[in-house]
Amino acid sequence: MVESPRRYRLAELPRSISREETERLLKTVDRRGPTGKRDYAVLLLLVTYGLRAREVAALRLEDIDWKHDRLHVRGRKAGHSAVYPLVPVVGEALLNYLQQTRPRSAGRALFFRALAPHTPLSWQAVSLRARHYLRKAGIKVPRPGSHTLRHTCVQRLVDAHLPFKTIGDFVGHRTPDATAIYAKVNLEALREVALGHGEEVL
């Protein structure tokens, strides 16, 4: 009888990418056309706030509070809503998309298909666009998609030594374990060990 391999809690490492890879990813977006303007804003939302694909797809025009520079994300997985400061680069990308390329529609969805029929962008499409640009940038990760950028946002916050509770609240994690897995990836410590100067780290 062959036993199946034992699975351990928190055994799977997050599939995040580096800051350099993130910059390379964003540079692959051709922002001259309507699709690129939309996709650039989508990618920034994913990597800046760690939003899920379905949360990006569910955004509506009224969720952007231009007067107070805030972004509202309603009905998150953990059962609450979140309010974020609207980072200037994200606000500029959204404004550029809204003013120049968002299809005219009576619908209140923020993001629409660039080609007819101009229906609201689905969460599947959000994830597929992220996968498209990851591959275009030559970035190899397991199961590339929108969650790659979500993981990247969380890992950046962990590396900044923010408390897990703060990080979990920021990205809408349901349990502390969902955030704790990122503590397993301490790249700087691993580099020191690999170079033979990190005995005190172990």
Is 31 among the catalytic positions? no
| Better-predicted residue by pLDDT, 15 or 52 | 52
What type of residue is 30? D
Could you read off the pLDDT of 142-174 as tens digits, one per residue?
A: 899 999 998 898 888 888 877 877 777 777 766
Is 76 among the catalytic positions? no
Candidates 31, 102, 147, 156; catalytic one: 147
What type of residue is 158? V
Is 198 part of a structural domain of the chain? no
DSSP secondary structure string, 27-56? Answer: HT--TTSHHHHHHHHHHHHHHHH---HHHH
Using a pLDDT cut of 90, give the percent of the chain over it.
55
Task: Give the mean pLDDT of 180-193.
Answer: 49
Candidates 77, 80, 165, 184; catalytic one: 77
Using a pLDDT cut of 70, give the percent of the chain over it.
75
The answer to whether 85 touches 39, Cβ cutoff 8 Å, is no
Is 77 among the catalytic positions? yes
Is 14 part of a structural domain of the chain? no
Candidates 40, 49, 97, 182; catalytic one: 182
The CATH number given to whatever domain includes residue 164 is 1.10.443.10
Could you read off the pLDDT of 54-89 as tens digits, one per residue?
A: 999 999 999 999 999 999 998 666 556 788 999 999
Residues whose CB is less than 8 angstroms from the CB of residue 169 and which lie 6 or more positions away in sequence, other chains included: 82
Q: Which two tokens stand for residue 13?
A: 């490492």
Is 86 part of a structural domain of the chain? yes
Is 52 among the catalytic positions? yes
The number of domains in the chain is 1
Query: What's residue 177's pLDDT?
Result: 62
Residue labelled with tokens 């199961």: 143
Query: What's residue 186's pLDDT?
Result: 47
Is 179 part of a structural domain of the chain? yes
Mean pLDDT of the chain: 82
The answer to whether 117 touches 103, Cβ cutoff 8 Å, is no
Per the structure, the complete domain to which residue 111 belongs is given by 19-193
Is 4 part of a structural domain of the chain? no
Candidates 52, 76, 151, 156; catalytic one: 52
In this predicted structure, the answer to whether residue 27 has a pLDDT above a threshold of 60 is yes
User: Which stretch of DSSP H or E encloses residue 82?
Assistant: strand 82-85
In this predicted structure, the answer to whether residue 14 has a pLDDT above a threshold of 60 is no
Is 147 among the catalytic positions? yes
Is 12 part of a structural domain of the chain? no
Is 2 part of a structural domain of the chain? no
Is 182 among the catalytic positions? yes
Of 134, 116, 132, 136, nearest in space to 124 by CA: 132
In this predicted structure, the answer to whether residue 187 has a pLDDT above a threshold of 50 is no
Of 55, 72, 61, nearest in space to 104 by CA: 61
Q: How many Å apart are CA 23 and CA 30, to the nearest integer?
A: 14
Is 13 part of a structural domain of the chain? no
Enter the pTM of the model.
0.79
